[in-house]
Amino acid sequence: MAAAEFEDFRAFLDSKVEEYNQPNFIQPDPISIPHSYSKLQDIEITGFWAAILAWGQRVTIINKCKELFEMMDNAPYDFILNHSEDDLKPLLKFKHRTFNDIDTLYFVEWLRHFYSNHNSLEEAFTKGLGTDDQNMEHALIQFHESFFALPYAPHRTKKHIATPLRKSACKRINMFLRWMVREDNNGVDFGLWKKIKPSQLVCPCDLHVERVARRFQLITRKQMNWQTAIELTESLKKYDPQDPVKYDFALFGLGIEEKY
């Protein structure tokens, strides 16, 4: 790509980031769920869960998340730490696609165990992060291991937490990390976590992002997997080395709103 073309394309992408990285992006998107809360831990818990449940239509995802957190009296952090056995009974009815009551109860138990010993979920995602790591690969592998370290972790639940070891693109967790880490003045992403650099984030690759990225030849690998997500992120770093994942807004917006 010639220098002039490169700058024109960067200007185009930046204009689309500015167009879609706006407060009106929040309401129809699963990120609206954590935006309903103000306490750090509530934002983390609802954001993590909303991201993990984020497959299917956005309206359905949002409604299922609201249903789940209403079962926790819309105070998930307090519920996680202080629930009784009877409080868990309504959760036995929760289901979203292949995510069922077994998965729900294990998430509650892991979060209870974690928050009993830590203040922020950020600590779970930085445990495996090396000072020289260029991306989140090692951190996500370590998070997966930590998440299933409890002795009664159900094997079936492992399919809901992606890991680069399985070559997954880890779309949902990468999206959650974007929410927690990216910081700007636009009010969409939260920017609550400071131990992870925006430059270490990996672009979430859903079908819309993948389609647009292929159209613009930002990825060349045939399959969508972890290495393809890294390839896309490295391509985006050419346009902004410090905050490549901001272009998720551009690619997603072009894909879902403009049907590129």
- Using one digit for the tens of pLDDT, what is the confidence trace for 147-168? 999 999 999 999 999 999 999 9
- Residue 260 domain-assigned (yes or no): no
Given a cut of 90, whether residue 52 has pLDDT beyond it is yes
- What are 190-226's pLDDT values in tens digits? 999 999 999 999 999 999 999 999 999 999 999 999 9
pLDDT at 84 over 80: yes
With respect to residue 27, please indicate whether it lies within any of the assigned structural domains: yes
Residue 67 has pLDDT above 80, yes or no: yes
Residue 139 in any domain: the answer is yes
pLDDT of amino acid 256: 87
- 28 lies in a domain? yes
Query: Structurally, how many domains does the chain consist of?
Result: 1
> Is a pLDDT exceeding 90 seen at residue 183?
yes
Rounded-to-integer distance, Cα 41 and Cα 76, Å: 8
**Average pLDDT for 127-137:** 94
- Packing angle of the helix pair 40-52, 58-70 (nearest 10 deg): 130
Q: Decide if 245 is inside a domain.
A: yes
* 128: pLDDT strictly greater than 80: yes
Q: Is residue 115 in a domain?
A: yes
- Residue 237 located in a structural domain: yes
Question: Which residue type is seen at 7?
Answer: E
Indicate yes or no: pTM above 0.95. yes
- Average pLDDT in the 166-174 region? 97
Structural domain for 185, as ranges? 3-255
Residue 259 has a pLDDT of: 74
**Residue 230 resides in a domain:** yes
Q: Region 224-237: what's the mean pLDDT? A: 98
Which residues, in sequence order, are CB contacts of 205 under 8 Å at separation 6+?
169, 171, 174, 213, 224, 228, 229, 232
